[in-house]
Homo-oligomer: A and B are copies of this chain.
Amino acid sequence: MTAAEQKPDSRGRLSATDWEQAALEVLAQGGVAAVAVESLARTLGVTKGSFYWHFPTREALLKAAIDRWEQRDEDQVIAHVERIADPRERLRELFQRVSREVQSHLVYAALLQASDHPLVQPVIERISRRRLALLTAAYAEAGFEPRAARHRARLAYTAYSGFLQLNQRHGMPRMDQEEYQAYIDHVIETLVPA
């Protein structure tokens, strides 16, 4: 209902960008395996013939879509958060952001699940390194020793990805909105120095 009407330029024709957008949507929903060309074509109202005009292969689409997501993520998270002066406040903002910007985190969760895929492995590695460095820097600025900053950053980051892992489309008793906010508060209390 949300992927059907993409952005027909004038009369139903599609562009490569349309495919990437749709790919990201089903990626967030059904994981990497759900990014199948015939299935995608159906949701876009066309057939494979269209796809293979825009992309040489399925991998190419996957790569393009993931690259696009990574770029957007870089801009949003890094830029908007890195300018917060106080490191404690910066850390709090980071944790809070998980609840908003759902789509982006869903994509990240999907990529985590497919981290053995040769195409996403380097992406996960880059993202991990970047976010870990961001956290480490924040903790260091907040007064942690270098070693302790690294450890606390790692703990925070693993808690983040573990949280994503255990929340989408499977196990774990669901939390309602209030319980969720209380949990976030607890995490901040525990992992961010007063």
Contact = CB atoms under 8 A, between A and B. Distances in A.
A9 B158 CA distance: 44
A128 B187 contact: no
Interface of A: 30-31, 112-116, 121, 124-125, 128-129, 132, 147-148, 151-152, 154-155, 157-163, 165-166, 169-173, 182-183, 186-187, 190-191
A113 B172 CA distance: 15
A119 B49 CA distance: 35
B155 A161 contact: no
Given A161-B165, A187-B151, A171 B115 contact: yes
B125 A186 contact: no
Nearest to A147: B182
Contacts of A190: 152, 155, 190-191
Nearest to A163: B158
A157 B132 CA distance: 19
